[in-house]
Amino acid sequence: QSALTQPASVSGSPGQSITISCTGTSSDVGGYNYVSWYQQHPGKAPKLMIYEVSNRPSGVSNRFSGSKSGNTASLTISGLQAEDEADYYCSSYTSSSTLDWVFGGGTKLTVL
């Protein structure tokens, strides 16, 4: 089972906006509106930031938004802040074999 494809790294300056892409196939990202995004700081457990493509859990800043087009999902962070520096992972429900969830390889966000 191949992981979803994310850029290894992205960077931006405080106040700017950045977008992280997550590319899959019609069996996962393109086939379902069940894409999630996670933020992970070093040594910490991942935190759910977006679910079902574009929904934010309670307590997550509205600077975080999600979208999807075809087989590619995207996470946009606006008004970058120093605390946003972290690793970000996408995940999608999948109908490939009996696998239920597949993750992306992760993207390191650096706030310059």
Nearer to another protein, 18 or 89 (CB): 89
Tokens matching residue 49: 């930031």
Q: How far is the CB of 99 from another protein (least distance, A)?
A: 6
Summarize as ranges the residues that interact with another protein (CB under 8 A). 1, 3, 32, 34, 36, 38, 45-48, 51-52, 55, 57, 89, 91, 93, 97-106
Nearer to another protein, 72 or 105 (CB): 105
Nearer to another protein, 8 or 14 (CB): 8
**Residue 61: how many CA atoms within 13 Å on its side-chain side?**
12
Choose among 90, 99, 85, 78: nearest CA to 27: 99
Q: How far is the CB of 13 from another protein (least distance, A)?
A: 26
